[in-house]
């Protein structure tokens, strides 16, 4: 099989992430044009909470993303089991709520803030525009990746059939060929889905981490620890489910799991490092955070609705099982509802 496009997509995602980590801290440093509201500040106590947040979020993220990947050792988590569909629906609800209830409203607040004296976009709803463009861009990546591999598959008539003796190359245009192409295309799609989903998650995770790390208010940090731990755990399950279905090699799985687990803690560390010079009301900080939040919201909403929910809810397995369909719908509503309630504290 030829997965060059998928590997290229993975490298692009990693390059974007590294560039994002390098550029964001410098972009958010600027002169403050708005007065920061007085808070109950306690630098030493805040630091203790931040260290606790790093440990808690790191462990929750690692457990969440690894659980579905361990389906070989935990049969209940196998992608073929009903429990996997129900758990994935809950995680998809969490991701959907994250995009609509947490990330997108923050982006609107950032880009319409009175601290930005002159909005370059005027009265144009720039936040929604960026979210829309990022969703369309995600669709294009999804579509072009699938189309690319279908062309590659259709141009190759040699299928490798694996038997007990080894791999035997044969020349065929029959039903086996079509089934193999279909399976390969579906596998590639899962790989693209997992990589794009991880990119969308890590962008907003780093921003959240920087905001927490730069804060010096224990009253702000304490509720965020619980909210973000819950948030990262179930986002990890959603991402881990996609990684498990993509059937990556062990090295790639480990790399993606580590990337996801470390993003928010890295953001917190960056926030701690720039807490003395970081200004959350700087126009530059507001614009940069707003744009990244808008883009990640568009990616998360598209991925949750199209690649996570639609793909599973419209599958023959779900459509032919009324109990599974009911369970998945209830699980979806619970996931979205729980994450929405956390908006009160996060």
DSSP string, 200-227: HHHHHHHHHHHHHHH---HHHHHHHHHH
Find where tokens 């629906």 sit: 89
d(CA 109, CA 106): 5
d(CA 180, CA 182): 5
Q: Can you give the pLDDT at residue 5? A: 47
Please list the rounded mean pLDDT of every run of 10 residues in the chain (346 residues): 50 53 50 52 86 95 89 72 88 91 89 82 89 91 74 57 45 46 68 82 84 83 86 89 87 92 93 79 83 89 89 88 94 93 69
d(CA 132, CA 158): 41
DSSP 8-state class, residue 164: T
Q: How far is CA 51 from CA 128, 214, 230, 260, 324, in A?
A: 35, 13, 17, 18, 41
Residues 115 and 34 sit within 8 Å (Cβ to Cβ): yes
**Confidence (pTM):** 0.74
Q: Can you give the pLDDT at residue 260? A: 93
Tokens of 94: 């969490």
Q: Can you give the pLDDT at residue 18? A: 54
Q: Can you give the pLDDT at residue 275? A: 77
d(CA 230, CA 236): 10
DSSP 8-state class, residue 282: -
Cβ neighbour number for residue 176 with a 10 Å cutoff: 12
Q: What does the buried/exposed string (b/e) look like for 18-51 if buried means 16 or more CB atoms within 10 Å of the residue's CB?
A: eebbeebbebbebeeebeeeeeeeeeeebbebbe
Q: Can you give the pLDDT at residue 194? A: 86
């Amino acid at each position: 099989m030829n997965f060059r496009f998928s590997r290229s997509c993975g490298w692009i995602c990693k390059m974007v992430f590294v560039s994002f980590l390098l550029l964001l801290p410098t972009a958010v440093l600027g002169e403050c044009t708005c007065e920061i509201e007085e808070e109950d500040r306690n630098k030493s106590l805040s630091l203790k909470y931040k260290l606790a947040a790093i440990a808690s979020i790191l462990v929750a993220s690692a457990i969440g993303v690894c659980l579905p990947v361990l389906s070989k050792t935990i049969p209940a988590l196998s992608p073929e089991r009903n429990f996997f569909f129900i758990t994935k629906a809950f995680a998809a609800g969490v991701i959907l709520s994250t995009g609509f209830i947490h990330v997108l409203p923050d982006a609107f607040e950032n880009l319409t803030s009175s601290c930005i004296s002159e909005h370059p976009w005027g009265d144009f709803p720039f936040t929604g525009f960026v979210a829309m463009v990022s969703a369309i861009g995600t669709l294009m990546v999804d579509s072009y990746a699938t189309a690319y591999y279908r062309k590659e598959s259709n141009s190759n008539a040699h299928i490798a059939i694996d038997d007990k003796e080894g791999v035997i190359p044969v020349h065929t245009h029959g039903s086996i060929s079509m089934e193999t192409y279909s399976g390969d295309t579906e596998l590639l799609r899962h790989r693209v889905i997992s990589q794009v989903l991880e990119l969308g998650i890590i962008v907003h995770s780093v921003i959240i981490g920087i905001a927490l790390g730069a804060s010096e208010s224990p009253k702000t940090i304490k509720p965020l620890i619980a909210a973000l731990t819950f948030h990262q755990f179930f986002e990890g399950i959603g991402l881990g489910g996609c990684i498990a279905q993509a059937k990556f090699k062990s090295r790639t799985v480990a790399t993606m799991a580590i990337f996801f687990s470390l993003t928010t803690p890295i953001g917190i560390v960056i926030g701690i490092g720039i807490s003395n010079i970081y200004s959350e009301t700087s126009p530059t900080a507001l614009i940069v955070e707003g744009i990244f939040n808008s883009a990640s919201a568009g990616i998360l909403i598209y991925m949750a609705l199209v690649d996570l929910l639609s793909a599973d809810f419209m599958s023959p397995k779900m459509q032919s099982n009324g109990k599974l369909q009911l369970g998945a719908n209830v699980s979806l509503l619970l996931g979205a509802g729980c994450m929405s309630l956390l908006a009160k504290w996060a």
